[in-house]
């Protein structure tokens, strides 16, 4: 049993990296008062644009740049409706997901027939994304949110935007910056999913990671510590349940597949502390 877990954990760290990047991005954006339900579509779009960019240039680095660019386009679209036009964030996020699922599926079917896309996808040779996602990004974001005046204003946009306005700062500008940070992180996450965890794009390949990210942000109480813990628990349980399926111990696989959700829920609910969303979230 111990060796099963020991073998599964390194797999878990790598496999849950895209999820972690999404959780970190969503934490920042929700702190600024925006709930971006469209993060699933954002990652899915990034996964496709990453593959397209990587195939066109033959370079994995360009692939990641393409992923970020794709996510930024979706972020800009979402921001245009929610920040500029003040549209309902939930409805816009849902629309973004539907749009991304339909568009990427359609575009991919057209593209994959071409010769360019039948050759193998360039691989990343040195994986800097995993340590960045698990160590550097959370530290950097935590310092930004809690130790800088910019971070204070950004959190204030989520709690009391009137106060930010009264102090002479622009709420919209802070929200745009939060959305850009999220887009970059989700873009890297989507690109990592397509270029490192897989070798190419498949329709709906994010398979609900964005929605899991949304719930981990809530259960992680909008804190980066919670984001790391929630993702780690979810990822580790997912990897361990596959290892248990593979060692065939007679537990029905349906139960094992549900384990990551149940365990994450129990652990994060069990941690003491008041659940309080940013006051102006979604408004």
Partner 1 sequence: MKRSPAALFLLLALACGRTETAQSNSAPPAAPSKETLKVGLLTPGAVNDNGWNAIAYEGLQQIKAKLPAEVSHQETKTPAEREEAFRAYGAQGYLLAFGHGFEFQDAAMKAGAQFPKTVFITTSGSSVSKNVAPMVFELEQATYLLGVIAARESKTGKAGLVGGMNLPSIASTFLAFKAGAQSVNPKFEVKEVYTGNFDDAGAAKLATLSLINAGCDFIFHQANEAGRGVFDACRERKVRCFGSNKNQNDVAPEVVVASAVLDVPTAFVTVATRVRDHQFKPEVQWLGMKDGIVSLVWNEALKKSIAPATVAEVERIEKTIRDGSFKVPRGKF
Instruction: Give DSSP secondary structure letters for 36-67.
Output: -TTHHHHHHHHHHHHHHHHHHHS-HHHHHHHH
Residue 13 near residue 130 (C-beta atoms within 8 A)? yes
Instruction: Closer to partner 1 by CB, 38 or 66: give it.
Output: 38
Instruction: Closer to partner 1 by CB, 133 or 224: give it.
Output: 133
Residue 157 near residue 174 (C-beta atoms within 8 A)? yes
Binding site for partner 1 (CB under 8 A): 7-8, 11, 15, 18, 81-82, 85-88, 91-92, 94-96, 98-99, 101-103, 105-106, 109, 193, 197-200, 202-205, 207, 238-239, 242-243, 245-248, 253, 257
| Angle formed at CA 204 by CA 129 and CA 92, multiple of 5 degrees | 90
Cβ 228 to partner 1, closest distance in Å?
Answer: 19
Instruction: Closer to partner 1 by CB, 13 or 229: give it.
Output: 13
Cβ 4 to partner 1, closest distance in Å?
Answer: 8
Hunting for tokens 């990652």 — which residue is that? Answer: 43
Cβ 273 to partner 1, closest distance in Å?
Answer: 31
The length of the chain, given as a count of residues:
283
Please tell me the distance from the alpha carbon of residue 112 to that of residue 55, in angstroms, as a whole number: 11
Residue 198 near residue 205 (C-beta atoms within 8 A)? yes
Q: Is 11 exposed, middle or buried (0-12, 13-18, 19+ CB in 10 A)?
A: middle
Cβ 103 to partner 1, closest distance in Å?
Answer: 6
Instruction: Closer to partner 1 by CB, 169 or 264: give it.
Output: 264
Cβ 77 to partner 1, closest distance in Å?
Answer: 9
Instruction: Closer to partner 1 by CB, 222 or 234: give it.
Output: 234
Instruction: Closer to partner 1 by CB, 139 or 257: give it.
Output: 257
Cβ 48 to partner 1, closest distance in Å?
Answer: 13
Please tell me the distance from the alpha carbon of residue 161 to that of residue 115, in angstroms, as a whole number: 52
């Amino acid at each position: 049993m111990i060796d099963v877990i020991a073998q599964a954990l390194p797999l878990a760290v790598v496999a849950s990296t895209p999820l972690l990047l999404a959780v970190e991005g969503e934490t920042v954006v929700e702190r600024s008062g925006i709930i971006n339900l469209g993060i699933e579509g954002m990652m899915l779009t990034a996964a496709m644009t990453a593959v397209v960019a990587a195939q066109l240039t033959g370079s994995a680095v360009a692939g990641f740049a393409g992923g970020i660019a794709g996510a930024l386009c979706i972020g800009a679209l979402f921001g245009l409706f929610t920040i500029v036009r003040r549209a309902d964030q939930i409805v816009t996020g849902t629309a973004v997901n539907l749009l991304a699922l339909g568009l990427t599926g359609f575009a991919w079917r057209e593209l994959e027939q071409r010769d360019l896309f039948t050759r193998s996808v360039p691989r990343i040779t040195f994986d800097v994304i995993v340590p960045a996602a698990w160590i550097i990004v959370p530290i950097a974001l935590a310092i930004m949110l809690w130790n800088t005046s910019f971070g204070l204003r950004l959190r204030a946009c989520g709690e009391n935007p009137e106060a930010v306005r009264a102090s002479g700062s622009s709420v919209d500008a802070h929200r745009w910056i939060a959305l850009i940070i999220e887009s970059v992180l989700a873009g890297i996450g989507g690109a990592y999913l397509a270029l490192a965890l897989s070798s190419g794009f498949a329709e709906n390949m994010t398979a609900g990671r964005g929605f899991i990210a949304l719930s981990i942000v809530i259960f992680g109480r909008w804190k980066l510590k919670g984001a790391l813990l929630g993702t780690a628990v979810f990822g580790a349980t997912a990897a361990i349940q596959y290892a248990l399926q593979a060692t065939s111990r007679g537990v029905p696989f349906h139960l094992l597949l549900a384990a990551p959700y149940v365990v994450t829920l129990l652990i994060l609910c069990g941690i003491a502390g008041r659940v309080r969303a940013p006051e102006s979230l979604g408004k």
